[in-house]
Copies of this chain bind each other. A is one copy, B any other.
């Protein structure tokens, strides 16, 4: 704990995630093996899934996690020559991830991928996120930049930029935010001017570009939102461009006039620089249009949606690893005695013996494992939306995926932060020192409620769009899923009170949504949306209850064969916690949404 040393020894090594839990979630709860019945995944079986998980698990434990503190403590800076040099370990990590096929794991065989279900890839990547969120983030960005070119790029763009991205020879970025336009992307001003050869010249500035400059790879491929000269104002005038740091000219790769103007001093994800970029300062920045003019935002949503689920997965993993660390610490740290014990001479007990510490641990568990399960449920819908048997299956899954995306992004970020703060609390005074890791995870976590769309934005997306889209079509599908889960849990013998509670919650969400939707339709959009964030909190709490009931059912099934197995009993206790402590909160949240408590709505700035 003293200056010069790094970290107090702990008896056991943090496993990042519980392997048994990941297996349980993948196969018992989310039936990954059932996906192999789909033609797209017919070349896979549980063996190849397990191999993927084991490979990333090992990389996470042996390469990413051991360097986590070092990479956090030595964030990259902008050098005088305009370059940003990362810690050399980042290059080793990125190369190892590329070698392991992480970058193209879910992509089709014909682009060199493994065509792995997102469900499996998300579970495997969770180990990477738990071990080092920034390193895992760089891989995710690279995959999704390539994926945009795969979906919308010309054959030449796919060959020139997509292939090296999937191979890990280049990395990718998403360039959306400008200094004056973050959440409000219709306001971007970066401009593209057509050239005679069909390419474009780009000028403008972007900020908060993760991985926007570094020395890991020979090139960086920026997927940039910009406005074609003369395009209409607002979102409809925004197009998507591919803008490499170095562009091909004949056989050579030459500088493409993309300059790093500065590195932000972030409090988390510190291994991955977030930078400001200037395009075309020398009017020599060549860009290639990706897809159709004016479709930039719509196309970019492919990457943004993936990034949102990616952020949710990372947030769940960061909460999860801190939870595991808390468990280890609480078992190894002696302090005090049981409230009943009056024997001051006796030995101290490990703090896990104190009820309040167990309360904090179980809350962390319920949040972290519930969040991971929700993210995996969302990833599974992604698989069905892309590769389901027929149109009806795919459409249904797409609706559900769209609905769940803002929830899978926000719940792990918001409640994960609470879990991460509890991890600090469990560590007592050591928790607020950087000799221990919980404070690092808390910092890493804080980014997740902001980047890729703040919680407020996600809430408007959920209530203003997703649950009311198609006359509530997605919501009806969601409700069917919950009812099916509760029916299954009931059949298996899970506590019927929990099943009833989930059914009632699904009804309550439907009724509330109908009422709020009607308010919007009647013209009172502000009234409908005033409590959107409370609505998101409510909706997410019900979604996680759904996930805990699914886990309880799977656990109960196993307990019938293996009575007394502590792992499954723990799942039931976490479910009990969620149904007893968290789900009842929705009554109050629903009342806020419905009655529209209007203090902050009426509030004027001069009253603050």
Does residue A113 face the partner (Cβ distance < 8 Å to B)? no
Q: What are 16 A-B interface contacts by the 8 Å CB criterion?
A: A2-B264, A3-B78, A180-B335, A187-B336, A267-B434, A357-B456, A359-B600, A363-B600, A425-B454, A429-B450, A431-B450, A439-B446, A567-B607, A570-B607, A580-B592, A584-B591
Does residue A605 face the partner (Cβ distance < 8 Å to B)? yes
Contacts of A574 in B (CB 8 A): 599
A184-B335, A267-B434 known; A233-B603 Cβ under 8 A: no
Number of copies: 2
Size of the A side of the interface (Cβ < 8 Å), in residues, is 108
Bound-state Cα–Cα, A344 to B188, Å: 11
Does residue A276 face the partner (Cβ distance < 8 Å to B)? yes
Q: Mark A184-198, 1 if CB is under 8 A from B, else 0.
A: 101100000000000
Q: In the complex, are the beta carbons of A456 and B267 less than 8 A apart?
A: no
Bound-state Cα–Cα, A425 to B446, Å: 9
Does residue A395 face the partner (Cβ distance < 8 Å to B)? no
Q: In the complex, are the beta carbons of A435 and B265 less than 8 A apart?
A: yes
Within 8 A of B (CB), among A434-449: 434-435, 439, 442, 446-447, 449
Q: In the complex, are the beta carbons of A354 and B456 less than 8 A apart?
A: yes
Q: In the complex, are the beta carbons of A356 and B425 less than 8 A apart?
A: no
Does residue A103 face the partner (Cβ distance < 8 Å to B)? no
Does residue A83 face the partner (Cβ distance < 8 Å to B)? no
Q: Which residue of B lies closest to A366 (CB)?
A: B599
Within 8 A of B (CB), among A252-296: 261-268, 276
Does residue A491 face the partner (Cβ distance < 8 Å to B)? no
Does residue A472 face the partner (Cβ distance < 8 Å to B)? no
Bound-state Cα–Cα, A327 to B182, Å: 19
A3-B78, A261-B2, A451-B429 known; A607-B339 Cβ under 8 A: no
Q: In the complex, are the beta carbons of A573 and B446 less than 8 A apart?
A: no
Contacts of A184 in B (CB 8 A): 335-337, 348
Does residue A89 face the partner (Cβ distance < 8 Å to B)? no
Does residue A510 face the partner (Cβ distance < 8 Å to B)? no
Q: Mark A322-355, 1 if CB is under 8 A from B, else 0.
A: 0000010011001111011000110010001011
Binds B, one of A148-156, A307-315, A524-532: A524-532
Q: Mark A1-19, 1 if CB is under 8 A from B, else 0.
A: 1111000000000000000
Does residue A183 face the partner (Cβ distance < 8 Å to B)? yes
Contacts of A597 in B (CB 8 A): 576-577, 580-581
Q: In the complex, are the beta carbons of A177 and B429 less than 8 A apart?
A: yes
Q: Is the interface of A mostly helix, strand, loop or mixed?
A: helix
Does residue A399 face the partner (Cβ distance < 8 Å to B)? no
Within 8 A of B (CB), among A585-608: 585, 587-588, 591-592, 597, 599-608
Contacts of A450 in B (CB 8 A): 424-425, 428-429, 431-432
Bound-state Cα–Cα, A3 to B566, Å: 51
Contacts of A433 in B (CB 8 A): 264-267
Q: In the complex, are the beta carbons of B599 and A362 less than 8 A apart?
A: yes
One of B182, B337, B607 near A429 (C-beta < 8 A): B182
Q: Which 8 pairs from chain A and chain B are nearest by CB?
A: A2-B262, A234-B344, A570-B607, A184-B336, A580-B597, A356-B456, A577-B599, A566-B606
Q: Which residue of B lies closest to A449 (CB)?
A: B425
Does residue A235 face the partner (Cβ distance < 8 Å to B)? yes
Within 8 A of B (CB), among A156-175: none
Q: In the complex, are the beta carbons of A356 and B446 less than 8 A apart?
A: no
Bound-state Cα–Cα, A189 to B340, Å: 23
Does residue A208 face the partner (Cβ distance < 8 Å to B)? yes
Does residue A319 face the partner (Cβ distance < 8 Å to B)? no
One of B262, B344, B447, B454 near A1 (C-beta < 8 A): B262
Does residue A499 face the partner (Cβ distance < 8 Å to B)? no
Q: In the complex, are the beta carbons of A356 and B581 less than 8 A apart?
A: no
Does residue A421 face the partner (Cβ distance < 8 Å to B)? yes
For the complex with contacts A235-B344, A354-B456, A362-B608, 15 further pairs of A-B residues with Cβ separation under 8 Å are A1-B264, A3-B78, A3-B265, A180-B334, A327-B608, A331-B605, A339-B525, A356-B456, A356-B460, A356-B532, A425-B455, A429-B450, A569-B607, A576-B599, A577-B600
